[in-house]
Structure 1
Amino acid sequence: MGMTFDPISQLDRFAASVLDSVRSPRLMPVDLFRDGERYVLHADLPGVDPGSIDVDVDGSQLTLRAQRTADTGDGARWLTRERGTGSFLRQFTLGDGVDLDAISASYENGVLSVVIPVSERAKPRKIAVESAEHRESIVA
């Protein structure tokens, strides 16, 4: 079974900005799959401010950022606090086989979806094979 080249490899780095008040990284779980001529990435970001979501491509790097703030006033007395607040960040390296200009993103029901089309030049294509006999018969 041969290795297949995947133009999206995950760096999976948690940068220093992914820290909350207790200085632990906040996880942004993702699913990444290929669906025909496109890659689809789903990231779980429940409760984040949609206006804080930032998806950008810089060179070959795709960066996902978001922010979640506590939805209580300063006078709130916490009884349990399991839902993290703060910054979320995931970064991925995009290979040559994707169309950087056609990437799109949407946020719905707490899930950020990023669609990354395969570039035309990375799509498999049939190459016509000519033989000398075939060329000569056309010329004759």
Structure 2
Amino acid sequence: MDLYRDGDHYVLTADLPGIDPGSVDIDVDGQLLTIRAERTLTTGDGVKWITREREAASFLRQLNLGQGVDTERISASYRNGVLSVTIPVSEKAKPRKIAVEQTDASGTESTASDRVGPVEPVEP
């Protein structure tokens, strides 16, 4: 499994070779992300195995998500044996600019974007 941040979302990728995409189950309970998958092997009647290194298996992986993710918008895709889960960063957790307000001597408020030119400190 790999997990990285790309801009305003996290991307989780997991190799799931031989997994039927229909067996992949992803759910979120609070801040717990759970991924389950199952690999089943089908054989015909009368098959005599020479060697068998692949086996049927169940997979489970759980991750605790931080408070800064948008669990309502998580999405997933499966392509060429690789599961990709996109986990968006919540709007609250995204960096943002804060306007700094200043009151001049007359009591008029203005934001930094309203001012033109250098700002001089106001002496009391």
User: TM-score, with normalisation over the residues of structure 1?
Assistant: 0.71
Query: Closer, same or farther in 2 for the Cα pair 1:87/1:129, shift >3 Å?
Result: same
User: TM-score, with normalisation over the residues of structure 2?
Assistant: 0.79
Could you list the runs of 5+ residues in structure 2 that have no partner in the other structure? 111-124
| Paired position in structure 2 for 1:48 | 19
More strand by share: 2
Structure 2 residue corresponding to 1:88, chosen from 59, 69, 73: 59
Deviates more, 1:130-139 or 1:31-40: 130-139
| Paired position in structure 2 for 1:69 | 40
The answer as to 2:117 corresponding to 1:117 is: no
Q: How many residues align?
A: 110
- Percent of aligned pairs sharing the same letter: 65
Higher relative contact order (CA 8 A, sep 6+): 1
Could you list the runs of 5+ residues in structure 1 that have no partner in the other structure? 1-29
Q: Tell me, what secondary structure is at the counterpart of 1:131?
A: strand
Q: CA deviation at 1:76?
A: 2.7
